[in-house]
Amino acid sequence: MNVEIIDPRVDPEPTGWADFVNDRRLHPVWRHPLIRLEAWTARNPPLLAVVREHGRVVGGLQAMVCRSWSTGRFGPAATRRPARLRPRWAEVYLPLHSGYPAAAFHSGVDVRGAIREFERSLVHRVGPGLLGVLYRAMTDDLADAMSGPQRPHRVIDPAAVLHPPATVDEWRAGLGTDVRATVDAIDADPEVRTDVGAGRDDLDASELAALLNAHRARQDARAWAGGQRSRFAGLHLDTRSPVSPAYLDALLRRPNVLTRTYRTPTGRLLGFSTMITDRGTAAFHHWAAVSRVDGGRPGLHRHAYAQAVAQAIDLGSTELTAGRAMLDEKAALGFRDTRQLHTVAAPRPLLGDRRGPQAVHRETPRDTTGHIHRNRAGSVT
Amino acid sequence: MWNSLAYRLWRAAYLRAVSSAFATVPLYRETWALHGRTDPVLVPGKTGSNGGALPADEVRRRLVDTAPLAGGSTEPDPARGLAFLLTRATQRPSHRLVVVVDAEVTRPPTGLPRGSRGCVLHPDAAASAGDEPVLREIVDTLRRGERVLAVGEDKNLDALSSALPAELPPPDRVPHHRIDRLTGGPFGLLHDPLLGYLGVLRDCGRWHVDRRRVHVRETTGGLAFTVLERTSPRLVDVLVGGGVPGEVHACPQHASPVIQT
């Protein structure tokens, strides 16, 4: 098994990568052209690690190489000689699809071995300045493979999941009266015009990206005020970047991405949603709306979620996910299941260490869960 | 182009602006990383279109992406740069009142010399000759025997003059022109509603670029202007007036950059 790490900004798509993404039915965020667009317009651009066995792609990871939480600069130009001594860390994370892990493997692969090989390759690629790797939003099985002695591990906000019932009526029957009333009111409101389609090329991505970034900033501020879980030592640590219009434009053009927009009769954009319409795992991907103080229409998100559920039922999807925020609101819309997600930190001295979590109990009697956030409980190691 | 120290400093300021825009401003990052640019080339192998310059309409449509990642204003200042060009435009050290008569200019010019005040007047208000506070202020200033300078398009300045009492001395006037409507003077300012004031017609009869605050270069899409002094909104290589072909020379009399369209 070997791991090839490429910079999507300048390196061509690895041989066999598209087939791997197709075989694993990975969401569009794994497509090389989209990773490339994201990398060029990110503060902390991702590297793509391709795991091969006998030359065949059997897994992949996306790792953001982060320089700072507060940098106001995009990632350094790929053509420059990297500053190998500069302190940096890597986050295996999908910042634009945070309910899913940034690691995917074919079944039957030795995931633990692949992860450790990835870590060794990353150390070689980034250089002595690499402080460690943070595996964020990992599912149970992946987190288990990434865990080990002295690797802090904690449970983070879960992703909302809905297993679509057989019919829309069945789903509606489980909703509260106020939720149904909101959805029906927007359907009947002549001041709200909606249009929907897959693979859309008729939208102004700049307009949508501006709304999405404003919405994210508003949500972040609210989460920060509410004591969000990513808080650490009183610092606001955010390695994400604004969504670029070029990325959004390419995403919306994909045939398996359904985009719904809400506008006033005069054409003013009120909100939009995107949905990944895979038959296996569908995902309610992006949602953004104009705030109420700026003239937004309350309740649009409920309508958008309702339409997404109806679409998932039509498609016959086995599950529909809806991200990690506002779980109570999503539960009211039927997303009553959750998928447990974990964050595992691997400090530099342990990168490549093959020992598993069971070694913790053999070697260190103390509690090594070492919560990354001291004020949170919930370690599962 | 001339090879003076002033030119090298001008060029260095432009290169810094390009580098900063590529590293921090979403619009230029996206455009130049994905499509490329020239002079300087930032991503080898990509030349983009028009040397990486963007039409002013496109920049205006995407103003939200012209603020750096660290944050900043996305509101353009159409009166930017006026104060620094007035002395050369009028050949007077200062005026008591500077009035900009233009529908696009909504905020008074800043940075005027001590003792000068700036204000804006909508052309409709100038034409209506109603009880407009700015008109009253102009009349009062003229009655005190102090100088008033009016800046705007010719037709708007004419409307202002006709709205003032005939017994008063007329205000000084400097017309401003879009790049696609440059005239021969004798006075004039080069103006763009997005970038602000870009240059001035000097006594040599040539259109001089405000080289301390503005850079201009020739591209296949026309003359591309860069505002050097303002970082948000960051305006780099903007094809004003829809892209007007032209050349950049050194003025033989003043040894500073002039444009010829």
Residue A370: pLDDT above 60? no
Q: How far apart are CA B137 and CA A347, in angstroms?
A: 69
For B134, the 3-state DSSP assignment is helix
Residue A230: pLDDT above 80? no
Edge-first strand listing for the sheet containing B172-177 = B117-121, B97-101, B148-152, B172-177, B189-192, B196-201, B207-209, B257-260, B247-250
8 A C-beta contact, residue B199 and residue B214: yes
For B2, the 3-state DSSP assignment is coil
8 A C-beta contact, residue A277 and residue A258: yes
Hey, which bits of B96-137 come out as E strands? 97-101, 117-121
Q: If pLDDT is split at 50, 70 and 90, which confidence band does A353 have?
A: confident
B26, B44, B64 ranked by CB distance to A41: nearest: B26
Mean confidence (pLDDT) of chain A:
88
What pLDDT, on a 0 to 100 scale, did the predictor assign at position A40?
Answer: 95
* Burial letters B9-37, b for 16+ CB under 10 A, else e: ebeebbeebbebbbbbbbbbbbbbbbebb
Q: How far apart are CA B188 and CA B202, in angstroms?
A: 8
What pLDDT, on a 0 to 100 scale, did the predictor assign at position A86?
Answer: 86
A9, A43, A244 ranked by CB distance to B30: nearest: A244
Whether A210 and B61 lie within 8 Å, measured CB to CB: no
Whether B24 and A242 lie within 8 Å, measured CB to CB: no
Taking the mean position of all CA atoms in its chain, how far away is CA A209? 17
Rounded to a whole number, what is the distance in Å from the CA of B227 to chain A's nearest CA?
20
Q: Is A215 on the interface with B (CB under 8 A)?
A: no
What pLDDT, on a 0 to 100 scale, did the predictor assign at position A378?
Answer: 35
Q: Is B61 on the interface with A (CB under 8 A)?
A: yes
Angle between helices A32-40 and A245-252 (to 10 degrees): 160
Q: What phi, psi does B33 have (nearest 5°)? A: -70, -40
Whether A79 and B69 lie within 8 Å, measured CB to CB: no
What pLDDT, on a 0 to 100 scale, did the predictor assign at position B185?
Answer: 74
Best residue in A73, A207, A213, A240 to probe B by mutation, most B CBs within 10 Å?
A: A73
Look at the block and give the residue holding tokens 């002079």. Answer: B39
Residue B230 in tokens: 């303002």
Q: Is A68 on the interface with B (CB under 8 A)?
A: no
pLDDT tens-digit profile of B208-247? 999 999 999 999 999 999 999 999 999 999 999 999 999 9
What pLDDT, on a 0 to 100 scale, did the predictor assign at position A358?
Answer: 59
Query: Phi/psi zone of residue A85: left (φ > 0), alpha (ψ -120 to 50 degrees), beta?
Result: alpha
Whether A9 and B33 lie within 8 Å, measured CB to CB: yes
A71, A206, A246 ranked by CB distance to B61: nearest: A206
The sign of the dihedral angle between the CA atoms of B76, A248, A220, A329 is: positive
pLDDT tens-digit profile of B8-24? 999 999 999 999 999 99
Region B189-206: mean pLDDT is 95
Rounded to a whole number, what is the distance in Å from the CA of A37 to chain B's nearest CA?
8
Best residue in B62, B231, B232, B234 to probe A by mutation, most A CBs within 10 Å?
A: B62
Q: How far apart are CA A254 and CA A41, in angstroms?
A: 19
Task: Please name every residue paired with A152 in a beta bridge, in sequence order, or none if there are none.
Answer: none
pLDDT tens-digit profile of A155-188? 988 999 999 999 999 999 999 999 999 999 999 9
Domain boundaries, chain B: 5-76+199-260, 82-193
Rounded to a whole number, what is the distance in Å from the CA of B56 to chain A's nearest CA?
15
pLDDT tens-digit profile of B104-133? 999 999 999 888 999 999 998 877 756 788
Q: Is B12 on the interface with A (CB under 8 A)?
A: no
Whether A72 and B70 lie within 8 Å, measured CB to CB: yes
CA-based nearest residue to A164, from A331, A287, A334: A334
CA-based nearest residue to A137, from A89, A104, A98: A98
Region B150-160: mean pLDDT is 93
pLDDT above 70 as % of chain A: 88
Q: If pLDDT is split at 50, 70 and 90, which confidence band does A364 have?
A: very low
Region B75-79: mean pLDDT is 95
Whether B65 and A206 lie within 8 Å, measured CB to CB: yes
What pLDDT, on a 0 to 100 scale, did the predictor assign at position A366?
Answer: 42
Whether B33 and A244 lie within 8 Å, measured CB to CB: no
Contacts of A37 in chain B (CB under 8 A): 34
Listed in sequence order, the residues at least 6 apart from B112 whose beta carbon sits closer than 8 Å to its beta carbon are: B83, B86, B94, B98, B118
A74, A213, A245 ranked by CB distance to B23: nearest: A74
Task: Please name every residue paired with B224 in a beta bridge, in sequence order, or none if there are none.
Answer: B217, B239
Q: If pLDDT is split at 50, 70 and 90, which confidence band does A375 have?
A: very low
Q: How far apart are CA A271 and CA A287, in angstroms?
A: 7
Residue A5: pLDDT above 50? yes
Task: Please name every residue paired with B97 in a beta bridge, in sequence order, or none if there are none.
Answer: B117, B148
Second-level CATH architecture of A160-338: 3-Layer(aba) Sandwich (3.40)
Whether A40 and B62 lie within 8 Å, measured CB to CB: no
Residue A369: pLDDT above 90? no
Q: How far apart are CA B137 and CA B148, in angstroms?
A: 10
Residue A193: pLDDT above 70? yes
What pLDDT, on a 0 to 100 scale, did the predictor assign at position B211?
Answer: 93
Rounded to a whole number, what is the distance in Å from the CA of A218 to chain B's nearest CA?
15
CATH 3.40.630.30-classified regions of chain A: 160-338
Instruction: Identify the closest residue of chain A to B72 by CA–CA distance.
Output: A72
Whether A206 and B62 lie within 8 Å, measured CB to CB: yes
A37, A72, A77 ranked by CB distance to B69: nearest: A72
Contacts of B44 in chain A (CB under 8 A): 79
Whether B30 and A210 lie within 8 Å, measured CB to CB: no
Whether A37 and B65 lie within 8 Å, measured CB to CB: no
Q: How far apart are CA A141 and CA A109, in angstroms?
A: 12
Look at the block and give the residue holding tokens 């903007």. Answer: B238
Mean confidence (pLDDT) of chain B:
92
Region A309-325: mean pLDDT is 91
Listed in sequence order, the residues at least 6 apart from A302 whose beta carbon sits closer than 8 Å to its beta carbon are: A179, A182, A183, A186, A333
Q: How far apart are CA A41 and CA A44, in angstroms?
A: 9
8 A C-beta contact, residue A50 and residue A6: yes
For A324, the 3-state DSSP assignment is coil
Instruction: Identify the closest residue of chain B to A247 by CA–CA distance.
Output: B30
The CA-atom distances, in angstroms, between A171 and each of A2, A46, A174, A317 are 46, 38, 5, 14
Whether B29 and A73 lie within 8 Å, measured CB to CB: no
Whether B42 and A77 lie within 8 Å, measured CB to CB: yes
Residue A70 in tokens: 């507060």
Residue B148: pLDDT above 80? yes
Hey, which bits of chain A come out as E strands? 2-6, 46-53, 56-66, 88-92, 103-105, 130-138, 153-162, 193-198, 257-263, 269-276, 281-289, 319-321, 337-347
Contacts of B29 in chain A (CB under 8 A): 40-41, 74, 244
What pLDDT, on a 0 to 100 scale, did the predictor assign at position A98?
Answer: 87
Provide the pairing of β-strand B54-55 with B238-239: parallel
Whether A37 and B68 lie within 8 Å, measured CB to CB: no
Rounded to a whole number, what is the distance in Å from the CA of A208 to chain B's nearest CA?
11
Rounded to a whole number, what is the distance in Å from the CA of A296 to chain B's nearest CA?
19
Region A229-247: mean pLDDT is 74
pLDDT tens-digit profile of A65-81? 998 877 889 998 765 56
Residue A61: pLDDT above 80? yes
Check if the interface score ipTM surpasses 0.85: yes
Residue A324: pLDDT above 50? yes
Residue A291: pLDDT above 50? yes
Instruction: Identify the closest residue of chain A to B31 by CA–CA distance.
Output: A246
What pLDDT, on a 0 to 100 scale, did the predictor assign at position A80?
Answer: 56
pLDDT above 90 as % of chain A: 74
CB B133: neighbour CB atoms within 10 A? 10
Hey, which bits of B67-147 come out as E strands? 97-101, 117-121
CB A326: neighbour CB atoms within 10 A? 18
Residue A381: pLDDT above 60? no
Contacts of B34 in chain A (CB under 8 A): 37, 40, 246
Identity at A189, one-letter amino acid code? D
User: Is the domain A2-158+341-363 a CATH 1.10.150 member?
Assistant: no
The sign of the dihedral angle between the CA atoms of B37, B20, A69, B65 is: negative
Q: What phi, psi does A217 have (nearest 5°)? A: -65, -40
Listed in sequence order, the residues at least 6 apart from A82 whose beta carbon sits closer than 8 Å to its beta carbon are: A76, A126, A127
Q: Is A9 on the interface with B (CB under 8 A)?
A: yes
CB A192: neighbour CB atoms within 10 A? 19
Identity at A288, one-letter amino acid code? A
Rounded to a whole number of angstroms, the CA Rg of chain B reads 19
Q: Is B204 on the interface with A (CB under 8 A)?
A: no
Q: Is A242 on the interface with B (CB under 8 A)?
A: yes
pLDDT tens-digit profile of B30-46? 999 999 999 999 988 88
Instruction: Please give the DSSP secondary-structure letter assigned to residue B198.
Output: E
CB B112: neighbour CB atoms within 10 A? 19
Prior bond to A255 cis, omega within 30?
no
Q: Is A43 on the interface with B (CB under 8 A)?
A: yes
Best residue in A10, A36, A38, A40 to probe B by mutation, most B CBs within 10 Å?
A: A40
Q: Is A77 on the interface with B (CB under 8 A)?
A: yes
Q: If pLDDT is split at 50, 70 and 90, which confidence band does A226 have?
A: confident
Residue B207: pLDDT above 50? yes
